[in-house]
Structure 1
Amino acid sequence: MRALFTALLLCIGFLSIAPRAQAQAWPDQPFDASTMSREDTATLQAALAFSGDYFGYADGVWNADAQTALEAWTLRVEKAKQPLYRHLSRLILALEDERVKNGWQLFYSDISNTSYLHPFELLETVENPDMVEFASADSGVSLIVRLTDQGQMQSVHDWFYNNAVNPDPYRYNDDKLWITMISLEGDLLAYARSDFHDGTWSTLSVVVTQDYFYHLNLMAASMMVGQGPASLLWTKGGVIDQVINGGSNAAPPTLASRESGPKDQVRRPLPPGVAASPPPPPEMPPASPPASGDGTVIAATKPEASAPPLLGTPGPATGSPEGAAAPAASPPAVIGIGSPGAPPAREPGHMPAASPGAATPEPPPTAPRAKVSGTLKGSGTGFYLAPTMLVTAAHVVEGCGAVAMIDGTALEIVAKDSSADLAVLSGATDVGAWLRLSALEVPKLGESVTALGYPYYTSLDQGLTVTSGNVSALRGIDGSSNRVMITAPVQPGNSGGPLLNPKGAVIGVVVSRVDDMAILEETGSLPQNMNFAVPSGPLLTFLAQNRITRPQGEGTGGAVTGGVPEGVANAVVPLHCYE
């Protein structure tokens, strides 16, 4: 029997109708940590650390403390006594939104052989000749790394411990590890960890205001010897990927073919958007979690009783993330670190540092690039995700000898996934606008949507077109949730354009429509507005897996209910495909 549906635009594919009831049954089953890869388990532990429920290691080994934390979060947020697989979605999306907003990556130091999650877009480098130092622009976070001998290391911890204002400051120490966690005057929290490696003590100390308690908890939970698994990148096809983005699995994913290990290691701080090659993985510490033959953790063990907790007991916070514990008392006044009257955020003996954000010399001008010309093969639409970076559909750029903007500016394909039908292009002209994309903005059934694009652009010159409709289904033709169906009319050339919700946030990428004539020949009737977009969940996963970073902030524009703001219109551009 001839397939009923074919996708138009530049991509031709035949899809068959698949059963739906069984395909989505397993997310309603009770959560079982044994089906999780190590990196997925570490991501879940990190999410619970950021929600303020977990105070152990994000080491990818599920234990009784992590299970208790998940049950507490589920009871508080989902109002359910037993965690189900589908409950992970809201918890993980809150962490994903934070990862994107503040650029969290796993930082590994081969000098100290330690790693931890570092918010690269939250913290700025502070010029300091004596140590590595970072600070947030609002002075709410100060982070310092020092390499010292035993005596200097101990003086750091003694200084923190002796200046504690809480009655029960936390301290742990042995011959290779020191941890101190205390409260300072001015409602500040301080955490210091020292690791002994190759004859030197490496000390990382963090001082934060109450607003950043959850950020501190996330950093501390990820600190460990060797390269930890807490990269915050999900295993492709794993439990988290399936829960967030859907799929046709009738049962939870198994560990049979899961990859395990860090995917997101960097050796040194880099500016946002600058890629770094991952370092060669060193040997993991002797106390590695038990693993199966393919390197995937399959056993859940509770840490030894002597293992120190990372933060001890939870503290109050004024700016808790979604699903986080509520403050125990009224919110304290936030005092900037280093402000008049506040205690010093540095340990004793530190030299004053230059203020963050000091002027840097202008980079040398680059030579103008040659314009693309030749035989035009087709066109599509793209939208700005960052100042010089565009998102489009993969089939828009497939088979092209060159891809360019309307003025001939050459674009480079930096990431492409044909199965997801997504691509990212770099080298676009900076127009000072990009669209908002958030893990918390997802398509909702019946929600009003706006599709922007350049249909038939090689034949017509009508400029940007805007159509509206609603989300008519949260699944594609095959029953999976890697597509949503919309009633907003789209035509050839709309491919790669953004699908916006009423707030102007990107909730999808337009990719296809049904073949009207195929439906007419098969059924005798014409379909009405059955068009499809890749939803924001798979788009975020694609960007995360390819380490595509975005600027911090809300993006350009605003609500589109009363018309499309100029900034939003400027962020959507036509693309040309040349032979």
Structure 2
Amino acid sequence: MFRFALALILTLTLAGAAAAQQAIRINGPFDPGRLTSSEKRLVQAALAHAGTYDALLDGAWGRGSQGALDQYVRETTGSRTPTWRDVRSLMRGFEAERQGSGWVPVWHPDWQVYHLRPDGILQVQNVGADTRYYTPDASFLLIAQPTNRRPDDLHATFLADARTDRDPYTLRTDSRMITAAQLRGGRHTYLRSDRQDGRWMTHTLVADDANQARLQLVAASFARRNMGDIAPGTGGVIAALLGGSGPARPEPDRPATDDGRGDVSLEDALEGALIGAITGLLNRDRDDRAPVATPVPAPLPDPDRGRRIATGTFVNTTDIVTTTRLDRVCDGVRIAGGAALVRVDVDRDAGVAVYAAPGRSDGWVPLDDGTPRRGDGLALLTRVGRDGDARTTRGRILREITGDGIFLVEAAPEARGAAGAPVLSSEGTLVGLWLEDRAGDGLGETVTPDRLARALDGMGVPFRRGGDRRGIGADARSAVVALRCDRR
């Protein structure tokens, strides 16, 4: 009988206050008064990751925290009274996530902003002043972006793409902006912008369903003071519930910072469509920041010499418009399986290059004479193989920018050779060119028709705007050619 009774009681010998020295029955009711503030914060973090807690990780145990634990227990066991066994199960599951995903504290001293981040599963990329963290499949994305002005436009963009059957959460004050919503495409998003010394720091999180729990944990962790680590340490009730001493505590007094050094293990390739979409939207506000140097893409490796690497479009009977990528990486350019081309000129600001072809083309495409709008349907044409048919990929405009700007297109053309592909309206007119697809993620940016027209005018290349086109016909398809680098 004595041994049986011992099996029902877990005795936790704790260092600290006398009240915490008492034995805790593993099947007894949970008592938050037995936890320190740091331990309560750790339980809140576990509940946030479990999806039942959406308030701050402040270590203050109130009705919200208790309600989140009650909900977790009801959903997992059906019970209405949480026990220490339930808390142990919760914390063991979260500890596996904490260690497996490499959760670390992040403190931005210049912005006085703190949050948690799962560095163990993230790759990192620095683009100008932005720092982007993402999973290899782009199912989870976090972008830290400083701006000079209040980022109302960015928050409005995500709200405009929110599902109409779900109520988004918004907060707007003089020093803080928050937008949380589920997007029409099924992704979950959380934007937080904090003001410090007249400038703003925006954190953008986007995640699929499988990573919604991680998004919720990051969102709940934001604070305007350095909150430190969430490791259970080597003593206390939570460490004892986890099995004694608890796991090693990695550098508890040195929170990670976004210094761009990339101290996580990174893969070489970026896959998936998410990062291209969101970073494209964020890049629209780049003129509001201090000037930064634009990274120059590395030249293509030798194995790509002689291969199809871009798409071009005749805008008249002899001139082909494409991306400036060819001018950067090729000794010469020719139509795949055909004649060598002569370089006419390039406009690097617009990302447009023009080459002249010998002979005359029966097909060519006029420029669109309107202004593209968000949600407009588009088509990308790419020619597959040396003599293959033009392949059509449908997409839409995610966001339009007038004047000299560029707009983001949602589509997924064949990766190799898609750069420079024509983006056509439903009438078959040229809206723009699919520019550099550096991430290989199937989303891209294109210059506006007005900017493309000015670039062609500056090069002295004749073209036509508008016309009597009725859809994307054979003439548009015959105007699209596959281009490749020619050997010197």
What TM-score does the superposition give when structure 2 sets the normalisation length? 0.49
* Higher relative contact order (CA closer than 8 Å, sequence separation 6+): 1
